[in-house]
Structure 1
Amino acid sequence: MIHLLLVVIYLSFISLGLPDALLGSAWPSMYAGFDVPISYAGVISMIIALGTVVSSLQSDRLSRSLGTGKVTAFSVALTAAALFGFSVSRSFWMLCLWAIPYGVGAGSVDASLNNYVALHYASRHMSWLHCMWGIGASIGPYIMGYALTGGQGWPAGYRSIAVLQVVLTAILLVSLPLWKGQRTDAGAGEAPDKPLTLREIFRIPGAKEVMIAFFCYSAVEQTTSLWASSYLALHAGFSTEQAAGFASLFFIGITVGRAFSGFLTIRMDDPQMIRLGQGVIAVGIIALLLPLGEFFTLVGLILIGLGCAPVFPCIIHSTPAHFGADRSQAVIGVQMASAYIGTCVMPPLFGLIANHINVAWFPVYLILSLAVMVWMHEMLLKKSGQRLS
């Protein structure tokens, strides 16, 4: 039964990833019809991220009162409704309105399932869980690209993903009995009786650094997710239909990388995995920067995805080693909030750059975010090194 539940959890994270890249892949075909600037994708992204922040901060309370299974089922259903809303929207303000339940649903699934897997399953499942997200995020742009090339338009792409979410909601409802009575195999129950305040968390050596590192990671991942398609279409010479499909290469890189990360962690520790990922991201960005042609541009997107693969799950997994098992849950909560704030702020900021300067600054923006991430992670290792010795 435990293994069957794990399959359901993996399916849930595929569902979480499915709509994540839809806006970025469809936006080059959407914005002209709504008579708004290209930068307005950042507005929708910000609304989604704000909803995600709010729901993630409430996830602990909801999970305690309803249980993770019910929270997940309700959240996926909410996301399905929002995607249907996107598909029938005929004005920009309607997109903004439907972005609210979209973000609320996504945030509840993300926070609740990450916490559940951390408490009830071995650490290798964290990498594979996020690999499942990558599968969904890779499939989404292909579905959207198929809808665009088939002449059905972007609304059909959103409707197709919504239908898949409805199917998963039904699976989750049927699986609700599986969520009851599970026991931890990952050392749960070590959190302090009294939750730490934000001030107390900020005083922990390395806490501010890991929050900034998470913020910058989200800047790299989410800016690439939202703007890679526009960069390919408006700067690299691809058609909008090609760009929508090729943008999924980034998510393919994340998916493949996270599938292998679960095995690499057997021989490499978390700091080594994070440094490896950061190095691969740098190579991918350089491939975008250099005028090497369309092929190397696409290779660069794959490499950025491969590099992103181990960073997020390994930072989460290393939290007890850095801060102690008794404080890890509190720190992980703030880390997730920092990641969502990065999602909220950084992609829209690049949208302004793309609109008022040039979308060609995309790789420069990424490498600056990466540099700060690397710096903060090294500072984290220095301040909390005694816990890793």
Structure 2
Amino acid sequence: MSSITYHTNVPTLTWTDDGITLPEPDAILNGFIQDVQNAFPDAVLYDSNGKFLLSTPWGQLITSWAAVVLDKNNQIAFYANQVDPSYAMGRMQDGIGRIYFIERRPATYTEVVGVCRGGISVLIPKGTYVADSANNKYRAKQDYTIGDDGTVNVTFICETKGAIECPANSLSMYEIITGWDSVSNPKAGVVGRNLESQQQFEQRRRQSVAGNSVNSVDSIMSALLTLTDANGNPVCQDVYVTENNLSEGITNGSVFLKPHSIYICVAALDSQENEQFIAKTIWNKKPPGCAMTGDKVVTIEDDSGLYSTAPTYKITYSYAVSVPIFFQIVMARSQDQPKNAADQIKNAVYNAFTGEDGSIRPRIGSRILASDFFRPVLAIGNWARVISIQIARDGMYSNSISMGIDEIPTLTKDNITVIFNG
């Protein structure tokens, strides 16, 4: 029995050291045309002018076959690229993350510390509601008891996930408890976020590669960025770590680093629960015996169980100062722009700044370029014609601003000004 060799003129995928190469769509189509002509010499595929007869039954079949092959080639190429961390997304990106022992961060809730005042020993139960000026509701994280000074710091968690702003001095009582007189929040809340995007996850994966090491600034930063509380929620919104390895003090912006010291700045809720998580993480990763610079001092115990009387240590770090950022956006007026054009522009800039659209949000110590926000505004629609975008932190608008190593930028939609010219 003789063997039969089958042959097709349709080009195949090519695998090289540079990756996968796909044949061009025209080459796939022409390959099918040649196959049909070889199998059915009498098939009429072209008109008298040499134009391919797409509307004929053969034309429809050939173009459908070519479309199927092209689609499958694209799917294979897409899947092959999912092993590259720079392109992976979804389930494949989650798998790469697990190699580094990190999970995608879920959507989180805004948290804020409220100073509750009232009678001594009055209980504020877990789940007690307060509200902010925008009528967003927050629940007490656990049971709290008002102390001898008539106050207690209560961590309240927003009941809605996502980037819910809670400005300073915006909380008020929502329900009545006998002996509880008032609540206020001297500091703004730590804003929650949506499910971690592909870009945000990849940035954190790159930062986490030092997570298994110790005695370096990278290992401290990585450990704090992946730190979660007892409920699995991220503790630190952002982290900045640097060191001074000289025998004399140095100044970095407004921060003075003592000789041979490390400086750690975290963007996190300043609560008693969080400070122990943060301090113990730093202690587990920092070099022994080094000095520490900062304005927050937390005492921790060595809970390793190696000592009959556990030694205590003082860990020093700083909380990032929130710096309000302002935008001034000048647009060319368009005849077909919608009535809510200004609101759409504000939403686009705000979502890009906070990372809600998948962008990488500005961080502690970062330089922020106004030009980075052209893309989200232009993506709104053809009517969005940008004349200029400028950014400021102190009333002086420019093309860029810089944050100190003890500062984290914050933005509210009220701080975005949209001007239409023409």
Decide which structure has the larger Cα Rg and report it.
Answer: 2
Q: What is the TM-score of this pair, normalised by structure 1?
A: 0.24
Q: What is the TM-score of this pair, normalised by structure 2?
A: 0.23
Q: Which has the higher contact order (CA 8 A, sep 6+)?
A: 1
